[in-house]
Amino acid sequence: MNPITPYCLFVGCFWLAIFGGTATHELEENDEHPHKWEMLYLVHQWPVTVCKMNEHDCKEDPLLYWTIHGLWPDKAEDCNRTWHFNLSELQDLMGDMKKYWPDVLHPNHTFFWKHEWEKHGTCAAMLESLNSEEKYFSKALELYKRIDLNSYLLKVGITPGSTSYQLAAIRDALIDAYGVTPKIQCLPGEEGHIQIIGQMKFCITKEFTLRNCTEPKTDPSPAPEDHFYHTEDLEICNDTLTYYPSHLHE
């Protein structure tokens, strides 16, 4: 063998690795990439409503504060089925995870967190600042604490109980607080009953600033929903009376 051949092979492989890596990165940023996303939804859920929708699974009295449902990239799901959840990566976050991001139906939270990582986290991970379990979950917790929805609603007198609110009063209070319009979802009222508030989605840019959640009605790619809690039954709230329940059977 010519002694120069191994050297050429080495150099060729080196440059192939360099340009091959660049090509892969460009594919992720390309408009045609199947998992391209533009913004994130930080989804808050009201545990009492979740329990109303899943009564046969709700084993304990629901929590009376808004918890995290997830941090979801828009228009992207299940991006890397080989990137499996590893609970050990969340050990430093475990206290906050159990308090602010619990499975509101089951005492063991691991399966819920696994679901959120594999369906949504592996897509968010295309952003360098979210490219690990620890980064993804800690950023969601950071955003949740920054928004501080529970404290703000209490401050303006919007509290759970037997009183109903006009949706406009809730929406206007949120706009005053955050300067943007979130997406408020309700469980539609059955005949003779009013709608029940269930989720609030705050839209977040890739730079982690709040933005409006308003979408064109003709958008062919609606925001993703997560069926872990059967929340596909939730709809954008109507501009009518809205129930904010404090007990499961009110």
How far apart CA 92 and CA 47 sit, in angstroms, is 25
Query: What's the token pair of residue 31?
Result: 């408009």
User: Residue 18, CB half-sphere, CA atoms under 13 Å: how many?
Assistant: 6
Tens digits of pLDDT across the chain (250 residues): 444 444 443 434 333 333 333 333 333 444 455 678 999 999 999 999 999 998 878 878 899 999 999 999 998 889 999 999 999 999 999 999 999 999 999 889 999 999 999 999 999 999 999 999 999 999 999 999 999 999 999 999 999 998 899 999 999 999 999 999 999 999 998 767 899 999 999 999 999 999 999 765 444 445 567 777 777 889 999 999 999 999 877 6
If you count them, how many residues does the chain have?
A: 250
74, 211 Cβ separation under 8 angstroms: no
Residues noted as catalytic: 69, 116, 120
The owner of tokens 């059977």 is 249
d(CA 5, CA 68): 58
